[in-house]
A = this chain, B = another copy of it.
Amino acid sequence: MADASNDPVWSWPEERWRAMIGRVRAGRPLKPKKWKGGARAAMALSFNLTGEIGAVAGGGGITALSEGHYGARRGLHRLMGLLKQQAIPATVFVPAVAAILYVEEIKAILAGGHELGLHGWIGEESLALSAEAERDLVSGARDALEKIAGLKPVGIRAPGWSFSDNSAAVARGLGLLYDSSLMADDEPYDLTAGGEATGLIEIPVSRQRDDSTFFAPGSGAPAAPEAVFDIFRRELEMAYEEGGLFQLTLHPHLVGVRSRIWIVEELLKIARTLPGLWCATHADVALWCKGRAGG
């Protein structure tokens, strides 16, 4: 929270709400004139591989733990198989604890040519942490991933989208290239803090391009798979039409089940029919956009 006082917002002077909004904000748009290799549009798939850590944070219920296990035991393999079939790379954001639990899976992901991204330590609530505590957890996660993967991640996705006031500085302090947790645009942009460029590139996510919006257990029935396919397809097709980026976030335990995996299969088939669609990792996209703002 930027502000602890209890005055209602409608009593605030302009500088106060301006300051709140300006802490971290989308800056210069980074959509390039052409994508790598002269491509017309780009597709960047990502998976959040969280395994049992959500259930651990939620108190350790055995049924919930088993549901988290499903993602790594079944869902991930289905997803990886489809990517291999179509020779499409992806970025896997993984909390350190899930990486430690699933070392073999992580190695297989890397062997498949995919990118590994940071996703915190164990689902920590960054908003409740001091800058030091957040930095220590992310830094520890970076070390853990490096130890397992033999390389340093260059990107991060805030656990549970809990991008804090310190997250940008923590990411820059670790020399990261990009973040992928915010939603101000469909296209990559410069992340600013207090009006100044942070040097960090944002590869924005969105609720519409995230399977958890439609399938995460909670109140109410999950969405019909046909409707979700339709949404993802439209997002892809309009991104292509605009010459922009189609970014997608998937969760192996949600979309990796038998009645939903076809959504990804059909989507990848459509992607393969679109001439000039560059299929890239989030890091590839961030590197390409860096400094190419406006082409």
Contacts and interface: CB of A to CB of B under 8 A. Distances in A.
A69 B222 contact: no
Nearest to A120: B10
Interface string A1-45: 111000011101010010011011110000000000000000000
Contact of A184 (B70, B100, B183): B70
Copies in the complex: 4
Given A208-B258, A231-B259, A66 B182 contact: yes
A214 interface: yes
B218 A70 contact: no
A188 to B, nearest CB: 13
A108 interface: no
A67 interface: yes
B230 A258 contact: no
A221 B260 CA distance: 15
Contact of A20 (B60, B70, B163, B262): B60
Nearest to A10: B124
B62 A257 contact: no
Contacts of A62: 23-24, 163-165, 167, 182
A101 interface: yes
A61 B218 contact: no
A185 interface: yes
B60 A1 contact: yes
Contacts of A239: 258
A73 interface: yes
Interface string A163-200: 11101000000000000011111100000000000000
Given A14-B100, A121-B10, A220-B221, A26 B56 contact: no
A96 to B, nearest CB: 10
B69 A184 contact: yes
Interface of A: 1-3, 8-10, 12, 14, 17, 20-21, 23-26, 52-53, 56-57, 59-63, 65-67, 69-70, 73-74, 97, 100-101, 121-125, 127, 137, 158, 161-165, 167, 181-186, 204, 206-208, 213-215, 217-227, 230-232, 234-235, 238-239, 242, 257-262
Interface pairs A-B: 6 shortest CB-CB: A220-B220, A224-B227, A221-B223, A238-B258, A66-B182, A69-B184
Given A63-B161, A232-B259, 11 more contacts: A9-B56, A24-B66, A66-B182, A70-B184, A213-B221, A215-B221, A222-B223, A225-B230, A226-B227, A231-B259, A238-B261
